[in-house]
Amino acid sequence: MSKEKANQRIDESIARYREGKSPKKYNIILFAFAGFLALGLLLYFTVGEELLSSRGQVVTLENRDEILYGTSADEAEDANYEVVMSSHWTFKDSGAVSEDAYVENSSRNTNSVYFTITRTDTEEIIYISPRVAPGNYVANIKLSAALSAGDYDTILTYYLLDGSNNVISSIPMKLLITIEQ
C-alpha cells in the first residue's frame, strides 16, 4: 500500500468518526459488551441472590455436611462404609477352601452385612456368605458352584442390613477368582 493511500484511509476514518459513524469493529465490541452486561445481570438476578443469602454462614466440622450437601453429619456418617477384603482369591480346585479369600466388616461400620459373589459372564451366584456383624470377618471360603480351572471375573456385592436384617443398600466390587486345577 502506498503512503498516499494509507494517509487517505486514515483521513476517511477520522472523518467518519467526526460524523458519528463508527467503524463496524467498534459496533461489534459495543454489542459484545452489552451482551456480557445482560448475561451478568441475568445471572445476578437468578443465582446471585441465592449465593448472597448464604453469605455470613461459618462452616464448622459440625455443620459442614448440612451446608455443603444438605444433610446432617449423622446422615453423612451413615452413608460411609469401610470395605476390607482381598481382591484376588485362589482355589486349588473348585471344591477346595481358599487360603487367601478374606472379607471383613470393619469395626468402624454400624451395619451388619452379607455378600454374594456372581460370575460376570453367566451372572451365576457362586457364593452367599453368612451375616457378618461389624468387627467380624469371613475366611476359609468354599464356593458353592463347581468351576473349571481358569480365571473368573466376578462381582462381590455387599448388602448392608438394618437392625431387622432388611437390605438397605448394596456395594458392588470387582473380584478375580482363580481355580488352579
What secondary structure does DSSP assign to 68-82, as a single string? HHSS-HHHHHHT---
Q: What spatial distance separates the first Cα and last Cα of the chain, rounded to whole Å?
A: 87
Q: At 79, phi and psi to the nearest 5?
A: -80, -15
pTM of the model: 0.58
Q: Specify the pLDDT at position 177.
A: 97
Grid cell for residue 63: 455443620
Return the percentage of the chain with pLDDT > 90, whole number: 51
Confidence band of 96 (pLDDT split at 50, 70, 90): very high
Q: At 126, phi and psi to the nearest 5?
A: -110, 0
More confident residue, 97 or 44: 97
Confidence band of 65 (pLDDT split at 50, 70, 90): low
- Domain ranges in the chain are 3-53, 83-179
Q: Which fold has domain 83-179?
A: Immunoglobulin-like (2.60.40)
When mean pLDDT is compared over 7-16, 53-62, 127-136, 166-175, the highest value belongs to: 127-136
Confidence band of 89 (pLDDT split at 50, 70, 90): very high
Mean pLDDT across the chain: 81
Check pLDDT > 90 for residue 139: yes
